[in-house]
Structure 1
Amino acid sequence: MKTKYYLITSILFPLLFLSPIARSQSVVLLQQDKPTSIRGLSVVNDKTAWISGSKGYIAITNDGGKTWDWQQIKGYEKSEFRDIEAFSNKEAVVMSSGTPSLVLKTIDGGKTWQEKYRKTDTTYFFDAMDFADKRHGYILGDPIQNKFLLMETKDGGETWTNVSNPPTALPNEAAFAASGTCFRIYNRKLFIVSGGKNSRIITRMDSKPEYNYTNLPLIHSKASQGAFSLAIGKNKIIIVGGDYENDKRTDSVATIFTAHPPILNSPTQGPLGFQSCVEYIKDNIFLSTGTSGSNITMDGGRTWRQIDSASFNVCIKARHGKMILLAGNGGKIALLKL
């Protein structure tokens, strides 16, 4: 009996000690009530972050989110700035979905913006943008004639050209311009997740012409369904999505992907509803968010727990640092506290 008591104590005591840590995450609102829906978010370090949104709005913080310098870029008041990539507190590149499709760049902290690309062709619709480094980046767009639009820059966003061998799209398949994270670059490898009638993960080594295609077990069949975002951890990729028209639906909204060989595993407890963005934090920790709320996993995607019920569109961790921000409709910006 005494041995059994010590055994139970030895098991429970560490769990009691760790439980407050495991459940200490919280989402702290920093700002809201701005007339813009934020989809683009780039966190440079623990001080500097940029956001971009609808109606031509841009904002930057240089004090860790305490204060934000907002602007509505003159001449672009109708632009849908769905993604932004920043390299410092001075330099950033922003893209606009819709017509015209646009790319703007600043090198003076947003005081002035230069138009680097414009396309009035209504078949062009930009979904996401990412950079392998400060010079080399890509923009992903919806399919044109059964090929995803894929554009490339090799001079930091100054000029853009169409990639000659973009990935093939299936009928009624597209990417979502929901958080700028349906497309990621990691170690020179391109990753795309799609939705609609089909939902897939598409991968390509940056120096190779071949693409690999893998079907995903997420909800798909309608234009509102599929994979919306991916995040790349140490040994796995977490993919999230669902149905944004039915954001409380909880089945098939997340999956765990390992590439070599391609293996997909469903979580035992998934996020509570539709998620438009997922971000890798550290170790086995990932954060996801969407209109149904924000969720966290501490075990590499096997089990998820909702930590906040407020609606957000995007969550991003600092490229050089620990700060994690979330953003959404109504100019809402929040900080994740771990």
Structure 2
Amino acid sequence: MNMKKMILAFLLIYSLQLFAQKGTIKIIHHGTKTNLRGLSICKDAIWVSGSKGKIAKSMDGGKSWQWHLVKGFERADLRDIQAFDKNTAIVMAIDSPAYILKTTDGGKNWKTVYQNNTSGMFLDAMDFSNHRNGIVVGDPIHGKIFLATTKNEGETWKFINPNISANIQKGEAFFAASGSNIVLLKTNNFHLISGGIKSRYFTKNKVCILPMMQGKETTGANAIAVYKNNIAITGGDFMEPNRNDSCFCFSNNNGNNWQRPTIAPNGYRSDVIFINKNTLICCGLTGVDISKDGGNTWENISHQSFNTCRYSKKLNAVFFIGQNGVIGKLLL
């Protein structure tokens, strides 16, 4: 009987520990001297990238991490990363000259697949619709949006003219806060958002002003997420991170109409993701929020600062990254 009681007590404690972990963000790594902004989850690995040329990879759901310093790019700010598998990934080094690098050996070695020496060049984000087709956006050059695409898994990149009728305004740009301001669709159309003096939404055939705070170079949209015809956009003012008067908007009809939430996220947010049609999560300097009604009302679940979040369907978990090499995990 005593042994049975001990076993039951152990199972009860274990179950309570599991319950406590679910719905709570657990910090699974911190202390590395890098500001992490790039996060990508593929079928067999989680990759992160950040300042000072740092890359890390986990192949066990975030329990352990392999860290790499990209040779020749020790001072580079690696703002976005796209992972294809545990061996293959593409990373973006943002400023002049701007580079896109690729590894095929798990991060040990990287080759340059794109370089741009144009004065003022600053890459902001990239996205892939599948393993082969990708797009990268950079800050405007001479008032024109910079876009380049790849059709061969990032081996080569080609500048494209998006034929968008509206020029970028002075003081309008694309924030490189989380690698999330552009989404590439399987149709090769894209969703793109700007911030600053103006905050706008762009596709190949549509341009509109967003109902987001704007007017200063620190304001506007930072991240966009798309789930079928549902679009979520988050941002704010990173110099006033507690302001939440117009830091989020959403559309349920593919960007034809936009709404502000009834209850907004708890301040500036640099990233947003869909878990499903109704459930969204966003993160930023002042914490993490969740919506369970498609973005109309938000609840704060953490005051921990993060830059970027991504969802793993396989692990049924959301991963977060931020300053000082912090990595968090939320079990759903």
TM-score (norm 2): 0.90
Which of the residues 243, 246, 254 maps onto 2:248?
Answer: 254
Distance 1:138 1:261, change over 3 A: closer
Which of the residues 122, 135, 147 maps onto 2:144?
Answer: 147
8 Å contact kept, 2:68–2:108: no
8 Å contact kept, 2:47–2:55: yes
Q: What letter corresponds to residue 193 of structure 2 in structure 1?
A: V
Distance 1:64 1:213, change over 3 A: same
Which of the residues 75, 94, 112 maps onto 2:109?
Answer: 112
Offset at residue 336 of structure 1 (A): 1.2
Cα deviations by residue, 1:270-315 (Å, 9 ceiling, x for unpaired)? 0000000001111300000000100000000010001000100000
Offset at residue 260 of structure 1 (A): 5.0
User: Structure 1 residue 267 and structure 2 residue 261: aligned?
Assistant: yes
How far apart in 2 are the matches of 1:30 and 1:146? 42
Cα deviations by residue, 1:8-34 (Å, 9 ceiling, x for unpaired)? xxxxxxxxxxxxx9xx62211100011
Query: Residue 258 of structure 2: SS of its match in structure 1?
Result: strand
How far apart in 2 are the matches of 1:177 and 1:296? 23
How far apart in 2 are the matches of 1:271 and 1:128? 23
Task: Give the aligned length.
Answer: 310
2:230 — aligned with what? 236
Q: Which stretch of structure 1 is more off in the superposition, 69-78 or 257-266?
A: 257-266
Cα deviations by residue, 1:67-124 (Å, 9 ceiling, x for unpaired)? 0000111110111100000011111000011122011101111121111112222321
Cα deviations by residue, 1:232-257 (Å, 9 ceiling, x for unpaired)? 12431111000000001111010112
Cα deviations by residue, 1:19-50 (Å, 9 ceiling, x for unpaired)? xx9xx6221110001110001000113x5110
Cα deviations by residue, 1:132-190 (Å, 9 ceiling, x for unpaired)? 21111111000111111001111111111110335432332111000000111233330
TM-score (norm 1): 0.88
1:196 — aligned with what? 196
How far apart in 2 are the matches of 1:313 and 1:261? 25
Which of the residues 67, 81, 89 maps onto 1:84?
Answer: 81
Gap regions ≥5 residues in structure 2: 1-18
Q: What letter corresponds to residue 33 of structure 2 in structure 1?
A: P
Distance 1:261 1:40, change over 3 A: closer
How far apart in 1 are the matches of 2:327 and 2:113? 28
1:286 — aligned with what? 280
How far apart in 2 are the matches of 1:238 and 1:261? 9
How far apart in 2 are the matches of 1:333 and 1:166? 39
8 Å contact kept, 2:316–2:331: no
Which of the residues 294, 297, 316 maps onto 1:300?
Answer: 294
1:214 — aligned with what? 208
1:179 — aligned with what? 178
How far apart in 2 are the matches of 1:41 and 1:131? 13
Offset at residue 321 of structure 1 (A): 5.4
